[in-house]
């Protein structure tokens, strides 16, 4: 099953947010790499991810486990994430 959810991802370095569909059957490490690459392009290069880039909950600052699948994490449609 290739289910996707819509989340908001905030880039504090650029001060902008993007709505992004992410697959629930992928690991957080894969999603972080894909989102990082996409948002680097969409932000006109104002954000550049590296091996230390993480996705976290925007409201609590909790960093998600990179080894877990999205479906196993408390992420759902409308979740507000932050890419740092």
Which CATH number covers residue 69? 3.10.20.90
What CA–CA distance (Å, rounded) separates 76 from 44?
27
Distance from C-alpha of 31 to C-alpha of 15, rounded to nearest angstrom: 21
Residue % of the chain over a pLDDT of 90: 81
Based on the structure, what is the number of domains in the chain?
Answer: 1
Domain limits for position 68:
4-83
Mean pLDDT for the chain overall = 93
CA-based nearest residue to 64, from 22, 24, 39, 27: 27
What pLDDT, in 10s, does the model give residues 36-77? Answer: 999 989 888 888 888 899 999 999 999 999 999 999 999 999
3-state helix, strand and coil shares in percent for the chain, rounded to the nearest 5: 20, 30, 50
Q: How far apart are CA 19 and CA 29, in angstroms?
A: 19
């Amino acid at each position: 099953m290739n289910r996707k959810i819509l989340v908001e991802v905030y880039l504090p370095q650029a001060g902008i947010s993007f709505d992004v569909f992410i697959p629930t059957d992928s690991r957080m490490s894969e999603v972080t790499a894909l989102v990082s690459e996409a948002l680097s392009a969409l932000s006109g290069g104002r954000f550049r991810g590296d091996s230390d880039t993480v996705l976290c909950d925007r409201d609590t600052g909790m960093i998600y486990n990179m080894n877990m699948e999205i479906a196993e994490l408390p992420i759902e449609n409308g979740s507000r994430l932050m890419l740092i």
